[in-house]
Amino acid sequence: MKKGRLIKGIGGFYYVDVEGEIYECKARGIFRQKKITPLVGDYVEISITDEQKKVGVVEKIMERSTELIRPTVSNVNQAVIVFAVIQPEPNIMLLDRFLVLAESQELEIVICFNKVDLATTEAYMPIADRYRAVGYKVLLTSAKNEVSITDLRKVLLDKTSVFAGPSGVGKSTLLNKIHPNLQLKTGEISAKTARGKHTTRHAELIPIEKHSWVVDTPGFSALNIDFIEEEALALYFPEFDEYMEECKFSSCQHVDEPSCGIKNALQQNKIAKERYHSYLQFLQEIRSNRRF
Ligand SMILES: Nc1nc2c(ncn2[C@@H]2O[C@H](COP(=O)(O)OP(=O)(O)OP(=O)(O)O)[C@@H](O)[C@H]2O)c(=O)[nH]1
Ligand SMILES: [Zn+2]
């Protein structure tokens, strides 16, 4: 038996990375009987049927720590959320939406503001600082001029990361810089559309280094947050944490309740008004989708 990581699945075959060697595996019939489907990202045990041909059988699937949907990948533990400082102009509420999604999946989070070659420091520092103040790790990169690519590579070490962010911000370009063998298609919007909207491509894990992988397709393409409970939303704004204890009511949702720690902190500029604004917007969305 060997331990490995399932990095790709095609037509009933599973490709398992065992310390850098890839084995083509079938899954034991028992999985099908039990209606268990091996997922890309699974840590597995395989038995080798032919060492020379690198062929084996998936015998055991280890318990999954997380399971992302769209793309369906297990055991992802980090989200790298990419926005451009300009072109396209960062949509702050959309960034907060990505953050809430990543927080709700209990992922570690890195924010990457890309295309710094196109703007002045004065233009993007305030936003970077705002998210650093929340406590997030923020990288300022230029995929084009190779700025802070080493830092990006460093945060990927010993993690399984999914890149997320809107179209055109440079996710593929960054991944190609990190791992030149990747050759992900960049900026070919017309070609992508030609492939058809409904073509589902299965995600793959790309080994970056030993014990470091990235998912080859961006995560969180569905930006719906209405599965989140109203009461849980504030927990996904990490900077709210210390002030929530000061709310008079334990059920406080920080909207118009009296003696609210969050609103006090907001008045004292300890919480950014843009972040609170996103919170209110998301809360409203969740409430309006609430089913009785
Ligand atoms: N100036 C500049 N252009 C960049 C940078 N990174 C990417 N680009 C360009 O921005 C465009 C979009 O880059 P992509 O890597 O395709 O963006 P993406 O986020 O993968 O986009 P989708 O695949 O649509 O999600 C391309 O024309 C890139 O060459 C950068 O750091 N600076
Ligand atoms: Zn409150």
pLDDT in tens, 59-69: 999 999 999 98
CA distance 152 to 111: 10
Pair 252, 147 in one domain: no
Q: Is the CB of 137 inside a 6 Å radius of any atom of ligand 1?
A: no
CATH, residue 43:
2.40.50.140
Residue 188 confidence (pLDDT) above 50: no
Chain CA centroid to CA 256, Å: 33
> How is residue 268 written in tokens?
């004292």
Does residue 217's CB lie within 6 angstroms of at least one atom of ligand 1? no
Which of 215, 248, 278 is the last residue before a domain boundary? 215
pLDDT of residue 34: 87
Task: Confirm if 125 and 94 have CB atoms less than 8 A apart.
Answer: no
- Asked which of 13, 44, 63 is the last residue of a domain, the reply is 63
Atom of ligand 1 nearest to the CA of 166: 25
Maximum alpha-carbon separation in the chain: 71
C-beta of 173 in contact with ligand 1 (< 6 A): yes
Does residue 88 have a pLDDT over 90? yes
**pLDDT confidence band for 184 (50 / 70 / 90):** low
- Shared domain check, 242 and 146: no
Q: What is the mean pLDDT of residues 126-134?
A: 97
The whole-angstrom separation of Cα 258 and Cα 186 is: 51
Count of beta carbons in the 10 Å neighbourhood of residue 153? 15
Q: Could you tell me the distance, in angstroms and rounded to a whole number, from the CA of residue 258 to the centre of ligand 2?
A: 8
- The finding on whether 144 has its CB within 6 A of some atom of ligand 1 is yes
- Looking at the structure, tell me whether residues 277 and 186 fall in a common domain: no
170 Cα to the center of ligand 1, angstroms:
3
Rounded mean pLDDT, 155-165: 97
Burial class (CB in 10 A: 0-12, 13-18, 19+), 199: exposed
> Would you say residue 196 has pLDDT above 50?
no
Whether the CB-CB separation of 2 and 46 falls below 8 Å is answered with yes
At CB < 8 A and 24+ separation, what contacts does 243-248 make? 243/270, 243/271
pLDDT at 191 over 50: no
88 plus 179 within the same structural domain: yes
The domain of 8 spans 2-63
User: pLDDT for 11-50, tens place per residue?
Assistant: 889 999 999 899 999 999 888 888 889 999 999 999 999 9
pLDDT of residue 189: 41
Residue 185 has pLDDT above 60, yes or no: no
Q: Which of 86, 167, 173 to mutate to test the pocket of ligand 1 (most atoms within 8 A of CB)?
A: 173
**Stated pTM of the model:** 0.91
Say which CATH number the domain at 110 has. 3.40.50.300
Strand order in the sheet with 160-164: 137-140, 108-114, 78-84, 160-164, 212-215, 205-209
Ligand nearest the Cα of residue 260 is: 2
* Among the listed residues 273, 280, 270, the one whose alpha carbon sits nearest the alpha carbon of residue 234: 280
pLDDT category at 78 given cuts 50, 70, 90 is: very high
* pLDDT of 236 higher than 70: yes
Confidence of residue 99 (pLDDT cuts 50, 70, 90): very high
Distance, CA of 51 to CA of 1 (rounded, Å): 12
281 and 148 in a common domain: no
pLDDT of residue 262: 98
Residues 6+ apart with CB under 8 A from 96: 275, 278, 279, 282
Q: Is 128 part of any domain?
A: yes
User: 192 pLDDT exceeds 60?
Assistant: no
- 117 marked among binding-site residues: yes
Q: Using the predicted structure, report yes or no on whether residue 70 has a pLDDT greater than 90.
A: no
- Per-residue CA distances from 155 to 18, 75, 212, 291 (Å): 23, 17, 10, 40
Measured CA angle at 84 (ends 79, 86), to 5 deg:
165
Average pLDDT, integer, range 48-63: 96
As a whole number of angstroms, the distance between CA 73 and CA 41 comes to 5
Mapping DSSP to helix (H, G, I), strand (E, B) and coil, where does residue 134 land? helix
Do residue 73 and residue 210 come from a single domain?
yes
In this predicted structure, what is the pLDDT of residue 201?
Answer: 62
What pLDDT does residue 96 have? 98
The closest of 127, 128, 99, 130 to 235, measured between CA atoms, is 99
Q: Ligand 1 center to residue 190 CA distance, Å? A: 14
Q: Find out whether 252 is annotated in a ligand binding site.
A: yes
CB contact at 8 A, 223 and 98: yes
Residue 245 Cα to ligand 2 middle (Å): 8
- The proportion of the chain whose per-residue pLDDT surpasses 90, expressed as a percent, equals 79
Whether residues 142 and 55 share a domain: the answer is: no
Residues 81 and 202 in one domain: yes
**Which ligand has the shortest distance to the CA of 115?**
1
**pLDDT at position 126:** 97
